[in-house]
Amino acid sequence: MRYEAAIGVLPDQTRAVPRRLLVVRITHWIAVLSVLALLVSGAGILISHPRLYWGEAGNIGTESLIDLPIPFIIGPSVWNRPIHFLAAWVLVLAGLAYAVGGWVTRHFRQDLLPARADLRWGRITGVISDHLRWKAADDTWTYNVLQRLTYLAVTFILFPGIVWTGLAMSFGVTSVFPTLATALGGHQSARTLHFALVGLLVLFLIVHVAMLCLVGFTSHMRAMITGYVPQDRRAR
């Protein structure tokens, strides 16, 4: 006798089954809170001097590389820097926990690493074409090749780049590890690169939330909180 029949559940009914790993869910929400704190405090730091430079030094009397179209507001960075640094370290620790947990639980291999057949150019362009037509290329509870490559790039390229450039802006850190800044062209170069990488992260977050809204925001949020999704894997 089938288990569903034994407990009085019809085979075609939806039943919740474990799906999201605990380490993924915990580190995901820690990262969400940390990134929000970083964006708010980072904006406060930026508006205290909304100019970007290239090289080692940069100040009001120095020619800028980019003048951001926001007004100078003197003072906010004094309050925002401690919050920014604290949130950054929380994010780094959460990222390390995610990396270790993802390796131990085989999350990277099973959920993120694309199959060799999926890396064919025709497969990737097909997924892009489907998304541009607002058509789901794959089941909404599994990652297609484009999502897998994007998440891998964010996890192993974008985030490490943000951490590197953030550390390279710290004179305390670069006094011990000067190569962090010199390899990027100087402290101001690190600040400019940091701003560009954060811009890419914000773009990713906007697309990420938009895609969640398209495929079922409530059901996916519930899954990331509780770890359970409908057995038939249909977005609710």
- Global pTM value: 0.79
CATH homologous superfamily of 15-230 equals: Transmembrane di-heme cytochromes, Chain C (1.20.950.20)
The pLDDT tens digits of the residues spanning 38-57 come to 999 999 899 888 999 999 98
Question: Which range has the worst mean pLDDT, 132-146, 183-197, 213-227?
Answer: 132-146
Pick from 47-51, 74-78, 142-146, 162-166 the range whose average pLDDT is largest.
162-166
SS (H, E, C) the chain: CCHHHHCCCCCCCCCEEECCCHHHHHHHHHHHHHHHHHHHHHHHHHHCCCEECCCCCCCCCCCCCEECCCCCCCCHHHHHHHHHHHHHHHHHHHHHHHHHHHHHCCHHHHHHCCCHHHHCHHHHHHHHHHHHCCCCCCCCCCCCHHHHHHHHHHHHHHHHHHHHHHHHCCHHHHCCCCHHHHCCCCHHHHHHHHHHHHHHHHHHHHHHHHHHHHHCHHHHHHHHHHCEEECCCCCC
The pLDDT tens digits of the residues spanning 90-130 come to 999 999 999 998 888 888 877 787 766 666 666 656 555 65
The chain-wide mean pLDDT, for the chain, equals: 80
